[in-house]
């Protein structure tokens, strides 16, 4: 893995950071970009936006008030509403439409002003909350709602817009707010670190050449001089710290799942994905999760069957068996009520659990899940898995309606299979 490992986790190159922003936008997760002052955090985000033809709105949070994000109060009758300021996105035009407007403006300064002032009108873009860890409390509260709900008071962020935050490390007299001491706020972000020094030097040099083509000789001298000693490039930098520890939580893992799905669609680099996940659940948990490979996956069980995988099934831990049952029920649910391989598999898997394991409730949960027409049944089953009586009531109700069961369905197979019926009866009678 190329990324630099530091106390904070994985440091990133500029190109990797842009790739991470793309992934996090797709997964609707807000990144917080950490780095030393003057490193190019805001420039990187702005460049990403313009490279992808989307809007860029920059809020310097240390210099604004909460009303600039939350709007101004407006009393109408007995109600008070909050009117957003012009800086907040309205999603009126596409990038191509803005380009057409600009072609009609001849004066260069006027064209530049129109471009800047029209960013909020674009249908897609990024709100950049820079120096968020220096913001006043009223700004933090407004930002918290924007990051959490993609809305502030009466204002709702358009679908094509997302949020990116950034801040400098708590070092060298840099004055910060209470941000890092609020675990609820901290856990809302994917924390990423832009690397200083040699890791990003080449990318910075390329940017300098592209940014100042009219002064190539001067640029060449500066680039060569700073490259001879990294302290001339970024100064004498300390290690730099977040001021907090990234810990996994359940909301974070939900974000990880969304991002791993989007990463497959986007073809995200593995190093970038590792950095992104470590920014949500911590480096140790991220590396362990990426390396983890379920002993038996639902689709493998569907393909090979219970009998051929029985030795491996016996080695599963209870939680692995439960997860496997939920995954299997999801992929065979549409076909389990028709005679065929999936129905045979459901019967064999249920028998295996009842005969070979001590966690009988998994079998009951599996049956309840595959016979239910509720699309959220898996969530319901997992939530109630520990409550035996509740699950057994579901089963009893299903058997009570046995006379109305359509022939050829999974329930009919259970009813006709004496071995399976007796095993299930034994479970339900335990609590009778």
pLDDT tens for each residue of 2-33: 444 444 457 888 999 999 999 999 999 999 99
Same structural domain, 88 and 153:
yes
In this predicted structure, which of 30-39, 130-139, 208-217, 220-229 has the lowest mean pLDDT? 220-229
- What pLDDT score was predicted for residue 322? 78
Considering 245, 276, 291, which residue would you say is the last residue of a domain?
A: 291
Same structural domain, 285 and 381:
no
- What pLDDT score was predicted for residue 353? 85
Say how far apart CA 134 and CA 37 lie, in whole Å.
Answer: 13
Say how far apart CA 405 and CA 398 lie, in whole Å.
Answer: 9
Same structural domain, 63 and 176:
yes
In this predicted structure, which of 55-69, 136-150, 399-413 has the lowest mean pLDDT? 399-413
Same structural domain, 223 and 172:
yes
Q: In the numeric block, which tokens belong to residue 401?
A: 């309606």
Same structural domain, 128 and 238:
yes
**Quick one: angle between helices 250-266 and 14-26, nearest 10?**
110
User: Which of residues 140 and 428 earns the better pLDDT score?
Assistant: 140
Considering 264, 291, 318, which residue would you say is the last residue of a domain?
A: 291
- What pLDDT score was predicted for residue 219? 74
**The CATH number of the domain where 131 resides is what?**
3.40.50.300
In this predicted structure, which of 69-83, 233-247, 316-330 has the lowest mean pLDDT? 233-247
- The dihedral through the CA atoms of 287, 288, 291, 297 has a sign that is negative
Q: In this predicted model, what pLDDT tens digit does every residue of 147-178 receive, in sequence order?
A: 888 888 878 889 999 999 998 876 655 556 56
Same structural domain, 322 and 277:
no
In this model, does residue 366 exceed pLDDT 70?
A: yes
Whole-structure pTM value: 0.70
Question: Average model confidence (pLDDT) for the chain?
Answer: 78
Same structural domain, 137 and 248:
yes
Same structural domain, 326 and 224:
no
Same structural domain, 243 and 310:
no
User: Which of residues 119 and 420 earns the better pLDDT score?
Assistant: 119
Per the CB < 8 A criterion, the answer to whether 272 and 15 are in contact is no
Same structural domain, 111 and 57:
yes
Query: Domain limits at 100?
Result: 4-291
Same structural domain, 254 and 382:
no
Give the number of domains in the chain: 2
Per the CB < 8 A criterion, the answer to whether 346 and 410 are in contact is yes
- What pLDDT score was predicted for residue 398? 53
- What pLDDT score was predicted for residue 394? 52
Same structural domain, 326 and 395:
yes
- What pLDDT score was predicted for residue 174? 55
User: Which of residues 208 and 74 earns the better pLDDT score?
Assistant: 208
Q: In this predicted model, what pLDDT tens digit does every residue of 312-340 receive, in sequence order?
A: 988 888 777 877 887 788 788 888 888 88
Say how far apart CA 208 and CA 392 lie, in whole Å.
Answer: 69
Per the CB < 8 A criterion, the answer to whether 153 and 22 are in contact is no
- What pLDDT score was predicted for residue 214? 79
- What pLDDT score was predicted for residue 379? 42
Q: What share of residues in the chain are helix, strand, coil (percent, to 5)?
A: 60, 15, 30
Percent of the chain exceeding pLDDT 90 equals 18
* Residue range 239-245: mean pLDDT, rounded: 61
CB-based burial of residue 118 (10 Å sphere; 0-12 exposed, 13-18 middle, 19+ buried)?
Answer: middle
pLDDT level of residue 376 (50, 70, 90 thresholds): very low
Considering 266, 291, 316, which residue would you say is the last residue of a domain?
A: 291
In this model, does residue 415 exceed pLDDT 60?
A: yes
């Amino acid at each position: 893995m190329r990324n630099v490992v530091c106390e904070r986790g994985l440091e990133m190159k500029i190109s990797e950071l842009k790739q991470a922003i793309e992934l996090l936008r797709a997964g609707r997760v807000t990144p917080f970009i950490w780095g030393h002052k003057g490193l190019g955090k805001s420039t990187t985000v702005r460049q990403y936006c313009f490279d992808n033809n989307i809007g860029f709105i920059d809020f310097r949070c240390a210099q604004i008030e909460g009303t600039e994000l939350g709007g101004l109060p407006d009393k109408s009758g007995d109600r008070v509403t909050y009117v957003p300021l012009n800086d907040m996105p309205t999603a009126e035009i596409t990038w191509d439409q803005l380009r057409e407007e600009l072609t009609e403006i001849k004066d260069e300064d006027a064209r530049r002003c129109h471009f800047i002032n029209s960013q909020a009108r674009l249908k897609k873009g990024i709100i950049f909350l820079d120096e968020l860890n220096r913001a006043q409390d009223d700004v933090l509260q407004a930002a918290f709602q924007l990051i959490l709900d993609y809305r502030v008071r009466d204002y709702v962020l358009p679908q094509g817009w997302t949020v990116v935050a950034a801040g400098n490390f708590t070092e060298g007299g840099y004055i910060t707010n209470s941000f890092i001491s609020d675990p609820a706020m901290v856990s809302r972000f994917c924390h990423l670190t832009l690397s200083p020094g040699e890791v990003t030097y080449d990318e910075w040099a390329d940017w300098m050449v592209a940014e100042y083509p009219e002064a190539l000789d001067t640029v060449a001298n500066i680039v060569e001089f700073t490259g001879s000693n990294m302290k001339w490039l970024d100064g004498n930098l300390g290690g730099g710290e977040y001021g907090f520890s990234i810990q996994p939580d359940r909301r974070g893992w939900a974000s990880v799942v969304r991002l791993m799905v989007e990463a497959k669609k986007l073809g995200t680099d593995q190093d970038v994905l590792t950095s992104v996940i470590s920014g949500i659940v911590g480096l140790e948990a991220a590396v362990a999760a990426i390396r983890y490979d379920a002993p038996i996956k639902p689709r493998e069980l569907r393909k090979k069957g219970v009998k051929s995988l029985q030795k491996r099934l016996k080695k599963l831990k209870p939680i692995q068996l439960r997860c496997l049952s939920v995954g299997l029920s999801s992929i065979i649910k549409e076909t389990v009520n028709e005679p065929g391989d999936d129905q045979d598999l459901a019967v064999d898997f249920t028998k295996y659990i009842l005969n070979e394991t001590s966690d009988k409730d998994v079998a009951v949960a599996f049956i309840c899940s595959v016979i239910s027409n509720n699309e959220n049944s898996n969530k319901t089953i997992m939530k109630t898995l520990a409550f035996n009586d509740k699950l057994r009531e579901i089963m009893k109700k299903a058997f009570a309606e046995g006379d109305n069961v359509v022939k050829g369905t999974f329930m009919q197979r259970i009813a006709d299979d004496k071995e399976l019926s007796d095993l299930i009866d034994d479970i339900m009678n335990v609590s009778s």
